[in-house]
């Protein structure tokens, strides 16, 4: 299912405002088309099938959230999209590139065009907050140190963090670590951001703050497209243009949140009402 009214995003913010803005050295943008296409994708671990002939299309210019129960394969789906693992069968196109046959070196130009918010933030324990956010810029961009500092501080301010440059991840709360992870994912001005369970493990207050942050980043166009996986229905309703429900290794249904809440499929209704987790 395609979302209507795709949003147009500038490649660069000439005022230096907002989170968006590609950096020198970034890969060229892909031609028009879906941001992500998965066709007949299968993946098993230790002969146990997780994804079974999954088909999914993520249109450009919006946010699509994949929901499913624990162990349903949500994170596997995200890792496949980023090329972090390979499917056993099927084809995956990310940002217009068929990444299925690509080796690690050939995947790098595609990965530079996306940001990944890991479930546990995945910050470097030995690096400060500043160096964690600056890391992608030092690895993949050609910026002067003042330019790096300006971008890092702008992103940290945007996610609501101030005066934390010198802190190590261990000195931060779980919610603060999540926000640093989001800042790092956005620092290269990605076309696509992948969010893995952004509210998981947070108390209600911090979960609400992360929900509000992701919702506002979506409204501002911090990235052209976002793909989110979560089990949190309220979060999904707040941040999504479309929600896809993953059941038994396949997308059972995809559509706007309100349409899914009135789904005629018993399995989808059972999941959304909490009868099945």
pLDDT tens digits, 135-189: 999 988 889 999 999 999 999 999 999 999 999 999 999 899 999 999 999 999 9
CATH number at residue 219: 3.40.50.300
Whether 171 is covered by a domain: the verdict is no
For 90-118, the pLDDT digits (tens) are 999 999 999 999 999 999 999 999 999 99
Whether 162 is covered by a domain: the verdict is no
Whether 143 is covered by a domain: the verdict is no
Phi, psi (deg, nearest 5) at residue 193: -115, 135
Whether 21 is covered by a domain: the verdict is no
- Output the pLDDT for position 272: 86
Whether 194 and 115 have beta carbons less than 8 Å apart is answered as yes
Tokens 């998981």, residue?
A: 200
Mean pLDDT across the stretch 31-47? 91
* pLDDT reading at 2 higher than 90: no
Phi, psi (deg, nearest 5) at residue 171: -90, 0
Q: Domain span at residue 240?
A: 36-113+190-272
Whole-number percent of the chain with pLDDT over 90:
65
Whether 155 is covered by a domain: the verdict is no
Separate counts of helices (H) and strands (E) for the chain? 9, 10
Count: domains in the chain = 1
What is the per-residue DSSP string for 168-186? -GGGS-HHHHHHHHHHHHH
Sheet (strand 89-94) strand order: 48-58, 36-45, 89-94, 97-98
Whether 264 is covered by a domain: the verdict is yes
Whether 211 and 218 have beta carbons less than 8 Å apart is answered as no
Whether 40 is covered by a domain: the verdict is yes
Whether 105 is covered by a domain: the verdict is yes
Q: Is the pTM of this model over 0.75?
A: yes
């Amino acid at each position: 299912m395609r979302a209507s009214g795709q949003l147009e995003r500038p490649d660069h913010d000439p005022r230096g405002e907002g989170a968006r803005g590609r950096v020198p050295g970034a890969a060229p943008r892909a031609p028009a088309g879906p941001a992500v296409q998965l066709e007949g994708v299968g993946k098993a671990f230790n002969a146990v099938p997780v994804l079974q002939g999954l088909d999914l299309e993520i249109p450009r210019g919006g946010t699509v959230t994949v929901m499913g129960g624990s162990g349903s394969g949500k994170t596997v789906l995200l890792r496949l999209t980023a090329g972090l693992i390979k499917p056993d069968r099927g084809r995956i196109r990310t940002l217009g590139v068929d990444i299925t046959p690509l080796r690690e070196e050939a995947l790098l130009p595609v990965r530079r065009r996306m940001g990944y918010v890991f479930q546990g933030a995945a910050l470097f324990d030995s690096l400060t907050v500043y160096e964690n956010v600056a890391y992608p810029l030092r690895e993949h961009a050609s910026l002067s140190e003042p330019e790096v500092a300006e971008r890092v501080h702008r992103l940290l301010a945007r996610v609501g963090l101030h005066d934390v440059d010198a802190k190590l991840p261990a000195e931060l709360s779980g919610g603060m670590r999540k926000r640093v992870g989001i800042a790092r994912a956005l620092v290269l001005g990605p076309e696509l951001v992948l969010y893995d369970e952004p509210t998981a493990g947070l108390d209600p207050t911090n979960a609400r703050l992360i929900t509000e942050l992701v919702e506002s980043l979506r409204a501002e166009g911090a990235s052209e497209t976002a793909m989110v996986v979560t089990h949190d229905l309220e979060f999904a309703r707040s941040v999504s243009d479309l929600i896809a429900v993953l059941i038994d290794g396949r997308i059972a249904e995809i559509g706007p949140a309100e349409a899914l809440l009135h789904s005629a499929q018993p399995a989808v209704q059972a999941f959304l009402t909490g009868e099945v987790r």
